[in-house]
Amino acid sequence: MFFLLTAQGYARSSYTDLALVLAVIGPAGTLVFARFLGGRSIDAAEDEAARGGGR
């Protein structure tokens, strides 16, 4: 939203392009974060502990 308002205020289309790219990449980045950096599920950790594995 900030970049769209900035693009309108300064009449620069490059800020509009940046806002549109960030609007597409933002949710994808959230999914990547949740998938790879969010850690394992509790069920997976309990299963590994039950099999005798652990950290």
pLDDT at 53: 57
pLDDT in tens, 3-37: 778 777 888 777 788 888 888 888 888 888 888 76
pLDDT at 45: 59
Which residue would you say has higher pLDDT here, 32 or 53?
A: 32
DSSP designation for 25: H
Find out whether 48 and 54 touch, Cβ atoms under 8 Å. yes
Find out whether 32 and 25 touch, Cβ atoms under 8 Å. no
